[in-house]
Amino acid sequence: MAVLVGKKAPGFTANAVVNGGEIVEGFSLEQYLGKKYVVFFFYPADFTFVCPTELLAFQDKIQEFNSRNVEVVGCSVDSHFSHWKWLQTDKNQGGIKGVKYPLVADLSKTISENYDVLAGNYDYSESGDVTFKGTPMAYRGLFLIDKNGIVRHQTVNDMPLGRSVSETLRMVDALQFFEENGEVCPADWHKGEAGMKATQEGVSEYLSNK
């Protein structure tokens, strides 16, 4: 599994569905460079079981992300047509109607491959045929990308393990606190709490106030 933290987020151009139903060709994260932070997350597939709980949970908190100047963008190996249909399907029928942030279509699986979250890989059989070993879907990868396009935080969950949206917000707060104050964030830090100077004296002062 590649560690992308500290590196430029892999670029892509793909079809996407935005605003809950508008199909866009040539969607790219480059539109946010210099302007916004991005939470870019992968999920295995449309019309599954854990996935709608995650996508709806991100939508429930979308105002909190937006208030922090963060764009949330989802991605799976499904087509934009599948995304569109899922977005039109009511929650009580397994759909995610009401989700407004962009969903990227990674039908070629190249975006998942470049972010190293594809749960398998292409190979050749003894007869020379192309085969796929593993599961041709993405793990639950999540990447926090700063305004310069650099990955600052990443997590990757196996498919049965849903993510914590609150933890994602906490990491956004931690990054922005560090950028604004130059102080680092200790264990279990939350917005509104004191940071810590990145010196031995700063550590001692922080621990003495605990």
- pLDDT tens digits, residue range 183-193? 999 999 999 99
Indicate if 137 and 183 belong to the same structural domain. Answer: no
Element (H, E) at 113: helix 110-114
Looking at the fold, whether 35 and 102 belong to one and the same domain comes out as yes
Domains held by the chain: number: 2
Task: Read off the pLDDT of each residue in 39-54 and give the average, rounded to a whole number.
Answer: 97
Average pLDDT across the chain, whole number: 95
DSSP H or E stretch at residue 66: helix 62-67
Say yes or no: 92 and 126 in one domain.
Answer: yes
H helices, E strands: number in the chain? 6, 9
* pLDDT tens digits, one per residue of 57-105: 999 999 999 999 999 999 999 999 999 999 999 999 999 999 999 999 9
Q: Which pLDDT value is given to residue 79?
A: 98
Mean pLDDT of 29-42: 98
Domain that holds residue 210: 164-210
pTM reported for the whole predicted model: 0.94
For residue 118, being part of any structural domain is answered with: yes
Q: Would residue 1 count as lying in a domain? A: no
Residue 128: predicted pLDDT: 87
Tokens of 191: 């917005």
Q: How far is CA 150 from the centre of its chain?
A: 13
3-state secondary structure of 123: strand
**Residue 165 predicted with pLDDT over 90:** yes
What is the residue whose two structure tokens read 């590649």? 2
Same-domain check for residues 112 and 79: yes
pLDDT in tens, 106-115: 999 999 999 9
pLDDT at position 124, please? Answer: 87
Residue at token pair 């003894």? 126
* 191 and 148 fall within a common domain: no
Pseudo-torsion of CA 78, 58, 168, 29, nearest 10°?
A: 50
Domain boundary among 143, 161, 179: 161
Specify if 8 maps to a domain.
Answer: no
Q: Pick the catalytic residue from 9, 14, 51, 142.
A: 51
Domain for residue 6, yes or no?
Answer: no
Is residue 102 assigned to a domain?
yes
> Residue 2 falls within a domain, yes or no?
no
Q: Is the pLDDT of residue 1 over 70?
A: no
Task: Kindly report, residue by residue over 139-160, the tens digit of the pLDDT.
Answer: 999 999 999 999 999 999 999 9
How many whole angstroms separate alpha carbon 207 and alpha carbon 210?
A: 5
Distance of CA 175 to the CA centre of its chain: 15
The end-to-end CA distance of the chain, in Å, is 36
Neighbour count for residue 2 (Cβ, 10 Å): 12
Confidence band, pLDDT 50/70/90 cuts, at residue 208:
confident
The model's confidence at residue 136, banded by pLDDT at 50, 70 and 90, is very high
- Residue 16 bridge partners (DSSP): 24, 104
Domain membership flag for residue 61:
yes
- pLDDT surpasses 90 at 117: yes
Our answer to whether residue 51 is catalytic in this structure is yes
Yes or no: say if 154 and 172 are a contact pair by the CB < 8 Å rule: no
CATH of the domain at 110: 3.40.30.10
Q: Are residues 178 and 150 in the same domain?
A: no
d(CA 51, CA 55) in angstroms, rounded, equals 6
